Amino acid sequence: MLFLRAVNSVTEFSPAKLNLFLAVTGRRADGYHDLVSVAAPLDFGDELSATRTGTGFTLTCNDPTVPTDESNLVLKAARAFAVATGWKNGANFKLTKRIPIGAGLGGGSSNAVAALRALNRLSGGALSEAQLAEIAGALGSDCPLFLQRAPAIMRGRGERIAPLPATAAARVRGRRVLLFKPGFGISTAWAYGRMASSSAKAPADQQETYWPVAQAEARLAAWLQGNAPVEELLANNMEAVAFGKYLALPVLRAKLQREFGIAARMSGSGSACFAVLPDDFSAAPLSAAIRAAWGPPVFAQEARLL
């Protein structure tokens, strides 16, 4: 293993992500869900600083709504790192939060991986990338994605990661997107639970249904093998779950399609949505329409796919 020089203070960028394609295909015996997804990190995100201390881990955050106790994935990641490496030092973490909570943008998972990377640098590289990936997978389904820092295909419960082929990644990287989120979030646990309950109990015409694996893989393969832009890949079968309860989402999406010709999608389990923008498209009128529809609590941010 190649060891790095240990340092006393580091700062890690903690990117948001978008699920450009998300097909939830069924519930597993362990309670998780299987999925097929294409996800990409953004050049927008949080920042996590870590300073070595003698012992123990602490966390502060600029956002008072973010818990800074042991429930935060940053501290869970730190504990897991210490157990895996036997590292005896501690660290003070400072999280500058920009990614909204309850958005489906992967903020908590990204923060956890940033903590692992920060501690690995503080320790002089105690863990290999493979070892970091193993810890990340145990922390959460989205976590291994953030070790890639590139567009990737996710399978299983999200822990099976494969890089997007180079020709396909070239159709993703650098594309402009507008992120927007209403003043409310959506619980990931609620969304997956609602999908499972609906698929088990509701009449077929009222289900928020899983996609068959073959259907999901065929759609992904067709896009990978062609040369269509990323706009033709976009899909998310969790939208039916969220849109059935939170009507502000489908109403605004229809408005943007009607007035701007923009096909917006939801990321993950929501509530954040996004639109892929042509380079010559002005985002200002679109942002204004979103703010007018959803009011002052709205979050809107332009970014690019990495």
Partner residues linked to 205 by β-bridges: none
pLDDT tens for 67-97 read 999 999 999 999 999 999 999 999 999 999 9
Partner residues linked to 59 by β-bridges: 93
Confidence of residue 4 (pLDDT cuts 50, 70, 90): low
What type of residue sits at position 282? S
Confidence of residue 209 (pLDDT cuts 50, 70, 90): confident
69 is catalytic: no
C-alpha distances (whole Å) from 261 to each of 64, 282, 286 are 38, 13, 11
Q: Could you please state the CATH topology (level 3) that the domain comprising 9-169 is classified under.
A: Ribosomal Protein S5; domain 2 (3.30.230)
Q: Of 38-47, 54-63, 190-199, which gets the smallest average pLDDT?
A: 190-199
pLDDT tens for 91-138 read 999 999 999 999 999 999 999 999 999 999 999 999 999 999 999 999
Q: Give the CATH number of domain 176-304; options: 3.30.70.890, 3.40.50.150, 3.10.20.340, 3.50.50.60.
A: 3.30.70.890
pLDDT at position 204:
52
Per-position DSSP letters for 169-201, written without gaps between them: HTTTTT-EEEEEE-S----HHHHHHHHHHHHHH
Q: State the Cα–Cα distance between residues 48 and 88, nearest whole angstrom.
A: 21
Indicate whether 41 pLDDT > 80. yes
76 is catalytic: no
Question: Cis before residue 271, ω within 30 degrees of 0?
Answer: yes
pLDDT tens for 153-208 read 999 999 999 999 999 999 999 999 999 999 999 999 999 999 988 776 655 554 56
- Catalytic site residue from 34, 76, 142, 181: 142
Domain residues of the chain, as ranges?
Answer: 9-169, 176-304
Indicate whether 219 pLDDT > 60. yes
pLDDT at position 208:
62
- Catalytic site residue from 17, 76, 97, 181: 17
